[in-house]
Homo-oligomer: A and B are copies of this chain.
Amino acid sequence: MANGSSHVVIVGGGFAGLACARKLATSADVRVTLVDKNNYHQFQPLLYQLATSELSTSDVATSLRQCLRGHGNVDVKMLEVTAVDPKTRTVTTREGESYQGDFLVLAAGSQANYFGTVGAEENAFPLYSLEDAQRLRSRILAVFEDADCDPKLVDQGALNFVIIGGGPTGTEMAGALADMVNFTMRAEYPDLAVKYARVYLIDHGHTLLGAFPAKAHDYAAQTLQQKGVQLRLDIGVKEVAPDHVLLSNGTLIQTRTAVWAGGLTASPLAANTSLPLGHGGRIAVKPDLTVEGFPGVYVLGDFGNIPGPDNQALPQLGSVAQQCGEWAAENILSEAAGRPRIPFQYNDKGIMAMIGRDSAVAAIGNKRHELDGPIAFAAWLGVHALLMSGVRERIEAFIDWGWNYFGRFRPTQVLDRSDESRIHWQDGTDGER
């Protein structure tokens, strides 16, 4: 452990925490302890690619030690933080270790917000963590394998996939899953009536991709419909059961694979910080990324409501998290040197979403210049390559993947044995199989 005048404790190795640690790593004035319950950084925007077997685990996750290698003043600890005392800037972990810092950076991220939907937490697959994506991947592969051996399961909805939420995650997942069904699965299961597979995308709003310009709404809807995705807009979800999803209009869709892309709330640690919570259960953050009344405490990314230009909270995006991570590091170095903190200014480079193999929508810059089609896909590829964690090999793998994507190449659908692959199928009336 290198010595430094100030000790910074960072909770969470996502976009925000990692960016903050990296920036601080270049300064000899601080030493950093980064605490995360996992030993890896996950590339959250591509988890749906892992779920659809397009990318493998090592493409979307990098060990935190490797991300921070060569920096003697940064220490990674794989521990789960369960409570925070913001007065003393001390974190306590499930394992019993505790860490106290001159500065405390809270960047513990989000989890799915089920908004009280009956059965959703128990039965739907969220898509926020690496484990979420691996579980969903196992389930998707398992329903195909099971239906291939017992075609009656198709009548029980084995090949129906219901995606709840038409934001970027739900839209991207629907496009990738439709492509997986139409190209890969149709070729690999010649015995199976893959033509009966259905991908449903449900949203209670009137359009997909609400945060995008109107033209993107229509482009996304048309592209998905061309891929065979069944759009159900202006409709809510009443219940998610092990074998069906019940919609607000009374429609019941049989499925073993309901994907929850319906919203995020701060991770449960937020409630154990004794800090004031706002919208989405997220901590209220001052413009300089600190918390009122608790000197030296910073809150970053999805874990807080980060103030934007007109004092509206910024959206939960990787680019917001990454930028405020770097900004917080600068403010910490300023504080440590006796200089004032500066209010965070988000440099809005735009938003984009990919819709299957060769289509994407993008709204570039804060003026929202619109792009769609293959050129938007290329932009999407480039931006994500830049966002990735700076490990050269990962970026090369990703760009390789992007080009292969055009060429209809697929990585392997290897089904690891897991709980998700052991589905309890109800017997039909004959009970013979």
Residues of A within 8 A of B (CB): 1, 38-40, 56-58, 61-63, 65-66, 69, 72, 75, 77-79, 95-97, 130-131, 134, 141, 145, 148-150, 187-191, 393, 409-417, 433
11 sample A-B contacts, Cβ–Cβ < 8 Å, listed by A number: A57-B416, A61-B412, A66-B410, A66-B413, A69-B187, A77-B149, A78-B148, A78-B415, A95-B150, A130-B416, A131-B417
> Among the listed B1, B63, B190, B393, which residue makes an inter-chain contact with A191, where contact means beta carbons less than 8 Å apart?
B1
Do A1 and B62 form a contact, CB below 8 Å, given A38-B415, A57-B416, A149-B77?
A: no
> Among the listed B69, B149, B189, B409, which residue makes an inter-chain contact with A97, where contact means beta carbons less than 8 Å apart?
B149
A134: chain B residues within 8 A (beta carbon): 416
Do A412 and B191 form a contact, CB below 8 Å, given A57-B56, A96-B433, A149-B95?
A: no
**In the complex, what residue of chain B is closest to A411 when comparing beta carbons?**
B58
A187: chain B residues within 8 A (beta carbon): 69
Do A1 and B95 form a contact, CB below 8 Å, given A56-B57, A417-B131?
A: no
* Residue of A75, A79, A149, A191 with highest tally of chain B CB at under 10 A: A149
The reply to whether B414 and A39 form a contact with Cβ atoms under 8 Å apart is: yes
**In the complex, what residue of chain B is closest to A189 when comparing beta carbons?**
B65
* C-alpha spacing A188/B66, complex, angstroms: 7
The reply to whether A412 and B150 form a contact with Cβ atoms under 8 Å apart is: no
A56: chain B residues within 8 A (beta carbon): 56-58
Do A414 and B95 form a contact, CB below 8 Å, given A77-B149, A145-B78, A191-B75?
A: no
A61: chain B residues within 8 A (beta carbon): 412, 414
The reply to whether A188 and B65 form a contact with Cβ atoms under 8 Å apart is: yes
A415: chain B residues within 8 A (beta carbon): 38-40, 63, 78
Shortest CB-to-CB span from A96 to chain B, Å, is 6
* C-alpha spacing A393/B409, complex, angstroms: 10
**In the complex, what residue of chain B is closest to A55 when comparing beta carbons?**
B58
The reply to whether A412 and B149 form a contact with Cβ atoms under 8 Å apart is: no
**In the complex, what residue of chain B is closest to A188 when comparing beta carbons?**
B65
